[in-house]
Amino acid sequence: MSGRIARLRLPGLAGRRVLVTGGSRGIGRAAVVCLAETGASVGLAYHSAHEEAERAIEEARAAARDAAPDGVEVKLWSEAGDLSRESDVERLFERVDAEFGGLDGFVGNAGVWNAAASPLSELGPSQWHEMIDVNLTSIYLTTRAAVTRMSEGGRVVLISSTAGQRGEPEHSHYAATKGAIISFCKSIATELGPKGITVNSVAPGWVDTDMSASVLRTSASERVISEIPLRRVATAEDVAGPICFLLSDLARHVTGEVVNVNGGSVLCG
């Protein structure tokens, strides 16, 4: 669980101000909790699942009480919005300014994946544009706003996917967005390096979350597991640990990298 990871006391996270998008469930929620345990203050951005966001905040608050370093104040808050829309992104970062007055870390995790097959011959323009907006435009808009609020020592972690490295048949629109995130990450890592800001990507494979439940709760899970060298599907906490590492001082000389968290599955495709 995230607590076992966080109690390593990753240096440089206590007291830092971090924004996590897509933070109400899955990988984002696990990252919020992990960060709170280390003593970081966290803003949680979500689309519309208000109750889930509130539960995530309560879980993070409890984790901070149990594990955050003594004397460190952990501030937690949430904000809803469609991050593919400039107006909603502006409102989110007005909240960032009001709550934090700046940022030390940013986790770009907002995104969607649909289990239904979408062969290229049947992939309509509306499906394509929706995926681009939700998975890629939101990353561009939020990352752009986040880095303008960072100084030297800032950390950016963008969530990509194994699909962005080796493709995913019948999900080409999804894979295209995740591959673009990797290229975006490498480009801005070079651009922001002279300012002392690191930019890295975490690329999960299959993760046991609500988004993948329609596959992993069926007999198809046997095939999925057989293609993972470690022979298990990742938990959200398995991904949160590397995210927190990249936000910490342990990763201060790591930038432009793609950290694969997939049990080795990217080696087999």
Q: Which of 174, 184, 206, 245 is the catalytic position?
A: 174
| DSSP per-residue string spanning 77-146 | EEEE--TTSHHHHHHHHHHHHHHTSS-SEEEE-------S---GGG--HHHHHHHHIIIIIHHHHHHHHH
Q: How far is residue 189 from each of residues 64, 149, 154, 198, 201, measured CA to CA in Å?
A: 31, 16, 11, 6, 10
Encoded tokens for 145: 């706003």
User: Minimal CA–CA distance to 110: which of 166, 181, 50?
Assistant: 181
User: Minimal CA–CA distance to 10: which of 71, 58, 68?
Assistant: 68
> Residue 174 catalytic?
yes
Q: Which active-site residues does the annotation give?
A: 174
